[in-house]
């Protein structure tokens, strides 16, 4: 039976941090604030996979109070999600995600993001969708105060 989960993540943009999305370092004067590498895209995908499993969110598995995850690359979180799927004898069917960012322009980085996500989830790149959009200058995302991502994942479980 195919189970579906959704994920959402948002982080503030701050000075002095690298901007990492989909495991790609993107040139930008600000980066995302967070305990790990703050990769909102990978975090949203992780939550979507965990949701399809009926598990708690990423914050329960990797709390920001645990020093082990300080600065950790978010691909580790996706690797753990894959392990949990395998533990249940399941298989990730596909993931699809959208990043909402007024800036920087993400289109040139989408292919590499998809490749990184596919590798972390042990999927074919065609099983991973990544899109980017702006917030049309509306709200905190439109004012370039943060970046958000939303994702959906389908997981086939026995």
Confidence of residue 63 (pLDDT cuts 50, 70, 90): confident
* pLDDT, tens digit, 9 for 90 and up, residues 6-47: 999 999 999 999 999 999 999 999 999 999 999 999 999 999
Handedness of CA 31, 36, 37, 42 (dihedral sign): negative
What is the structure's pLDDT at 1? 96
Closest-CA residue to 143 (of 155, 134, 153): 134
- Domains along the sequence of the chain with CATH: 2-156 (3.30.1330.50)
What is the structure's pLDDT at 129? 98
Structure tokens at 143: 């004012």
Task: Measure the CA–CA gap between 126 and 129, rounded to whole angstroms.
Answer: 7
Least confident of 36-40, 65-69, 86-90: 65-69
Write b or e for each residue in 35-68: b if 16 or more Cβ atoms lie within 10 A of its Cβ, otherwise e: bbbbbbbbbbbbbbbbbbbebebbeebbeeeeee
What is the structure's pLDDT at 68? 85
What is the structure's pLDDT at 18? 97
Structure tokens at 25: 């370092």
Burial class (CB in 10 A: 0-12, 13-18, 19+), 90: buried
SS3 state of residue 28: coil
What is the structure's pLDDT at 111? 98
Confidence of residue 73 (pLDDT cuts 50, 70, 90): very high
What is the structure's pLDDT at 67? 85
Least confident of 32-36, 52-56, 62-66: 62-66
Task: Measure the CA–CA gap between 67 and 82, rounded to whole angstroms.
Answer: 23
């Amino acid at each position: 039976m195919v189970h579906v989960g959704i994920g959402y993540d948002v982080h503030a943009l701050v000075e002095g941090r690298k901007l990492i999305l989909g495991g790609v370092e993107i040139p930008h004067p600000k980066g995302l604030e967070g305990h790990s590498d703050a990769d909102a895209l990978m975090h949203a995908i992780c939550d979507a996979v965990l949701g399809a499993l009926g598990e708690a969110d990423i914050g329960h598995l990797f709390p920001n109070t645990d020093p082990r995850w300080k600065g950790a690359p978010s691909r580790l979180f996706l690797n753990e999600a894959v392990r949990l799927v395998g533990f249940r004898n399941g298989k990730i069917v596909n993931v699809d995600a959208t990043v909402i960012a007024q800036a920087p322009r993400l289109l040139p980085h989408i292919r590499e993001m998809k490749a990184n996500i596919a590798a972390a989830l042990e999927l074919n790149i065609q099983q991973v969708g990544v899109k980017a959009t702006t917030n049309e200058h509306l709200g905190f995302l439109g004012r370039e105060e943060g970046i958000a991502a939303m994702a959906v994942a389908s997981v086939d479980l026995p």
